Amino acid sequence: MLIDCKGNFSMHCYTWLSFALALVQQWTYLPCVYSSNANDLEQISRTSLREKHGWVQNPMVVHEEQVLTHPLQFNQQQSNLDKQKTSQKNVLSNNELQFLNGPYEATIPEMSAEGTSVIQVTASDQTGARLFYSILQGQPYFSVERTTGVIRTSSPMDRETIDQYFVVIQAQDMIGQIGGRSATTTVTINLSDVNDNPPHFLHRRYHMNISEAAPIGTIVGKILAEDSDIGDNTAMNYEIEGHASHIFYIITNNKTQEGIVILKESVDYENRSRYDIRVKGINRHIDERFLQDGPFEDTVNLKISVDDADESPVFTSKKYAMEISEGAAVGSFVGAVSARDPDDANSPIRYSIVPGSHLNRWFHINAHNGTIIVTKPLDREVAPQHHLIITATESMNPKQISNVNVSIQVVDVNEYAPELSKYYEIYVCENAMFGQLIQTISAVDKDSPMEHHRFSFSMDEATTNSSSFAVKDNQNNTAEILTKRNGFYRQEQSVFTFPILIADNGNPPLASTSTLTVLVCDCDTEVNIKFCRYGTLGISVEAFVAVVACTLIILVFVLAILAFRQQRKKSLFHEKGEEFRENIVNYDDEGGGEQDTEAFDIPTLRNHSVLREHKPRRNITTQIQSLYRQSLQVGPESAIFREFISQKLEEANSDPDVPPYDSLQTYAFEGAGSVAGSLSSLGSSSLDVDTDYDDFVQ
């Protein structure tokens, strides 16, 4: 029988199929009844009945709600007398039942609540049959929804106990019926860790040792708090409780989660030899769901013993700062350093300045008490500050030494009073108003350092009351000059002066008084400095320039006349192309004139060695000039005149730079009472020549 439902099982098609099944069962009823004894049937057919063929039907399977896309031949009957033909049609079925993506694997957090979805499994036979799922392995921790294949948790699970589960799921298409098919798959379920376990120290007490000579930063020891969790849930922080946190601190090794105890401050065996500390280990990542079971932390006792060591001397200060005045005398006290032996031995300390520095030449330290004194005068301008390194050494163990830095500041002596930084030209307009700023002034001090100077500006009480101006101190080493009245009249008073007091902050403080001058200007709104400078003279700027120009012209003219006169005087004794060679000799015997050659020996007179004796040269020019000025007022018989002549001759004879023959000595007077008269050719000159002999006196 062939039924074509055109690919769709409607209600009509389903009814026909049921009817066909019933009909087949009726047709096959008798053969099925008698098939149990074939011999009996054969005997009956031979004896009492007409031989009739029977139908043989194979088992038939039809899936309900099966969706077909083409006609399906689901059964074929066969006659029992057909011995030769064995052709039959079995039930047609698509590929077998199987899970699509098996085997499966999933991960869920441990301690998940009951009913938490884990994963969904899906099976198919590609026929569209309805499948049912069941769990074969994995109870009581997991369950599966019968129709959807969703696996869910049935109870909380602890990863620290079991961290992986294997679940077996079965899918069936005809549950409890003959011909039904099934398939199975496995699901591996892993449990991820949650922070559900607090830390726990391996030991209830730790013991460590540290030497008192250990430097800051030394590792004292390590501790460890275990955690059953894994990954980030084991991350740990450690805390030191109490006052000991100032002496020690603890950090975490992020790889091993160990707590590393480190020395934070130096320890002293003589002061304290043991520290009892409580250390707390706390998880960094805490799941609040489990806080109800108690705090996620653990505490342990830590005992740290301090070992005694031979320590270096310890100064009372880490560094020293001292001051000394630059005017301090040699031997003056600068300051003192002090160190002690921290050990019980209490060894005496010896002090010294580290050699190799030129600065130790200015200072000396007492080896026994550490006092520092000055050994040379100090000059702040040369070295305003000195830096020394002082060494402290134990007498009983010279290997134990310590150093300290000493800074010595040379304090400047307040030697100079402050003064105005420059000369100020101060001007005020006639129409100036009350309180108007006309000048800002500043002061300087030759003492150093300049950056520490503080100057104050003021006027005495009497000046303040009578002055038309006021001084306002700006508190920054400057001051403002302000007017104290409205308007000034230049014709009435064009210049104002008033004293100003400037004081410094030195020790002791010094002060000086300066006078400020204010000129009144005829201006509109702003001061015209050029007009103020020259307007007070009563002339305009153009007139002043003309006066200066005329003065320069007159000066040039006078200088030209003087130069011409000087040139004229020189021409009386020297003309171009003519030379004078004449020696004037003074002697007592005037002789018989030019014809007398026996009165004296000419070669002898020409002998330089005879005429001039070698005498030490004296600086008598000033004396000769003084005598000359006096001789002009007396006659030739005067003692002053004679002294002048003698000095003049002595100068000529003792001058080694004057040529022996070509020389000219000029005298203001040639003497009187001689019958023969003068032998000099100068005496024969014309009397009307006005010769000024003053220019030729050496």
Spatial CA neighbour of 338 closest among 370, 293, 301: 370
**Angle at the Cα of 619 from the Cα atoms of 613 and 620, rounded to 5 degrees:** 85
Provide the strand spans (E) within 193-255.
200-201, 205-211, 219-226, 236-240, 248-252
Spatial CA neighbour of 162 closest among 198, 111, 115, 113: 111
Domain boundary among 242, 274, 307: 307
pLDDT at 524: 61
Least confident of 63-67, 591-595, 639-643: 63-67
What are 472's two structure tokens?
Answer: 């306002």
Asked whether residue 116 falls in the same domain as residue 181, the answer is yes
Whether 300 and 256 have beta carbons less than 8 Å apart is answered as no
pLDDT digits (tens, 9 = 90+) for 575-592: 444 444 445 555 555 555
Question: Distance (Å, rounded) from C-alpha 43 to C-alpha 112?
Answer: 75
Kind and range of the H or E run holding 44: helix 38-47
- The DSSP string of 408-472 is EEEEPP--S--EESS---EEEETTPPTT-EEEEEEEE-SSS-GGG---EEE--HHHHHH-SEEEE
Asked whether residue 528 falls in the same domain as residue 455, the answer is yes
The CA–CA distances, whole Å, from 454 to 82, 511, 603 equal 140, 12, 86
Phi-psi region of 409 (alpha: psi -120 to 50; beta: other; left: phi over 0): beta
pLDDT digits (tens, 9 = 90+) for 631-681: 555 555 567 667 778 877 877 777 766 655 555 555 554 554 555 554 444
What are 23's two structure tokens?
Answer: 């009909």
The answer to whether residue 216 sits within a structural domain is: yes
Asked whether residue 339 falls in the same domain as residue 292, the answer is no
Whether 167 and 137 have beta carbons less than 8 Å apart is answered as yes
The answer to whether residue 678 sits within a structural domain is: yes
β-bridge mates for residue 55, sequence order: 79
**639-654 and 621-631 helices, crossing angle to 10°:** 150
The answer to whether residue 547 sits within a structural domain is: no
**What is the number of domains present in the chain?**
6
Asked whether residue 285 falls in the same domain as residue 258, the answer is yes
- Domain at 137, CATH number: 2.60.40.60
β-bridge mates for residue 604, sequence order: none
Domain boundary among 509, 538, 567: 538
Most confident range, picked from 349-353, 453-457, 545-549: 349-353
Which of 628 and 327 is assigned the larger pLDDT? 327
What are 496's two structure tokens?
Answer: 């104002």
The answer to whether residue 617 sits within a structural domain is: yes
Whether 260 and 253 have beta carbons less than 8 Å apart is answered as yes
The answer to whether residue 548 sits within a structural domain is: no
The CA–CA distances, whole Å, from 237 to 221, 222, 252, 287, 384 equal 16, 13, 6, 16, 53
Phi-psi region of 370 (alpha: psi -120 to 50; beta: other; left: phi over 0): left
Q: Note the Cα 174 to chain centre separation in Å.
A: 84
Question: Distance (Å, rounded) from C-alpha 510 to C-alpha 414?
Answer: 8
pLDDT at 137: 93
The answer to whether residue 553 sits within a structural domain is: no
pLDDT at 571: 55
Whether 448 and 426 have beta carbons less than 8 Å apart is answered as no
Contacts of 399 (CB under 8 A, 6+ apart): none
SS3 sequence, 251-270?
EECCCCCEEEEEECCCCCCC
Question: Which range marks the domain in which residue 466 is found?
Answer: 419-538
Q: Please state whether the peptide bond connecting residue 313 to the residue before it is cis, i.e. omega within 30 degrees of 0.
A: no
Question: Distance (Å, rounded) from C-alpha 505 to C-alpha 410?
Answer: 17
Q: Note the Cα 386 to chain centre separation in Å.
A: 26
Asked whether residue 293 falls in the same domain as residue 217, the answer is yes
What are 223's two structure tokens?
Answer: 């501790």
- The whole-chain average pLDDT of the chain stands at 75
DSSP helix/strand/coil, 553: helix
Which of 648 and 341 is assigned the larger pLDDT? 341
Asked whether residue 428 falls in the same domain as residue 523, the answer is yes
Contacts of 629 (CB under 8 A, 6+ apart): none
Phi-psi region of 128 (alpha: psi -120 to 50; beta: other; left: phi over 0): left
The answer to whether residue 91 sits within a structural domain is: no
Asked whether residue 294 falls in the same domain as residue 338, the answer is no
Question: Distance (Å, rounded) from C-alpha 523 to C-alpha 532?
Answer: 9
Asked whether residue 531 falls in the same domain as residue 437, the answer is yes
Spatial CA neighbour of 652 closest among 692, 694, 605, 698: 698
Give yes or no for residue 295 having a pLDDT over 60: yes
Give yes or no for residue 49 having a pLDDT over 90: no
Amino acid symbol at 339? A
Asked whether residue 627 falls in the same domain as residue 677, the answer is yes
pLDDT grade, residue 547 (50/70/90)? confident
Asked whether residue 260 falls in the same domain as residue 328, the answer is no
Asked whether residue 528 falls in the same domain as residue 442, the answer is yes
Q: Note the Cα 376 to chain centre separation in Å.
A: 39
The answer to whether residue 333 sits within a structural domain is: yes
Asked whether residue 425 falls in the same domain as residue 534, the answer is yes
Global model pTM greater than 0.85: no
Domain boundary among 248, 274, 307: 307
